[in-house]
Amino acid sequence: MSEEPSAGESPAPIESLDEGELRQASASTIAHYDQSAESFWQGTKDHDVSQNVEALLRHIESESPFVILDIGCGPGRDLKTFCDLRHAPVGLDGCPSFVQMAREHTGVEVLHQDFLALDLTASRFDGVFANAVLFHVPTQELPRVLGELYAALKPGGVFFASNPRGPDLERYNGQRYGSYLCLETWTQYVTAAGFSPIEHYFRPPGLPRDEQPWLASVWRKPRE
């Protein structure tokens, strides 16, 4: 049973897609990653996102080990990090090659699910880690996806997201579909889903704002 988020209104979607356009946006994005899975792994496996991992973990108030959903886990880099830290991660990705690779790299449960058709257990997770992934969700579907992540968290659970920031623009970038939101618009979407803000920052650290293309934010599901 889904839990009702607190009252609030999401912004109007930037683009309105019909059912066929939604399916195409998802299929095209997944196909791009599936076709380039090995090169993606080689190009990203050594990326340092420890700042993001730490931002999630330090705000979780449950007893360790934490049950963490790594949504859009890709080939499993961050899943492996959570395993090495002795937590209990579960991966999720829509790309078949990534799901197979993540399972091979970590040995943990990895769900094969399209973001447009999530099927998550209510109140299962202490934390949700969405690193460089939710920007692929069309804005008209973002309230539903955020609501499903809200329902999948335990009361008091923590939601981390990192997305490329932008001037509220939604479009294809090659084969990949993306929504590029400013802090204010992203905040409206997430608070409308029921989350309370904890902190946000821009990445990479130590650079001028115009050289920090990533917006990272941390949120809490209120306790009952």
CA distances from 222 to 24, 62, 154, 195 (A): 35, 13, 9, 7
Rounded CA-CA distance 141/137 in Å is 6
CA distances from 207 to 72, 211, 212, 223 (A): 27, 6, 6, 36
* pLDDT tens, the chain, 224 aa long: 334 334 478 999 999 999 999 999 999 999 999 999 999 999 999 999 999 999 999 999 999 999 999 999 999 999 999 999 999 999 999 999 999 999 999 999 999 999 999 999 999 999 999 999 999 999 999 999 999 999 999 999 999 999 999 999 999 999 999 999 999 999 999 999 999 999 999 999 999 999 999 999 999 999 97
Architecture of domain 19-220: 3-Layer(aba) Sandwich (3.40)
pLDDT score at 105: 96
Model pTM?
Answer: 0.94
**Position 56: which residue type?**
L
Q: E strand or H helix at 92, and its extent?
A: strand 88-93
pLDDT score at 2: 33
Q: Which two tokens stand for residue 196?
A: 């309370």
Q: E strand or H helix at 215, and its extent?
A: strand 214-220
pLDDT score at 1: 30
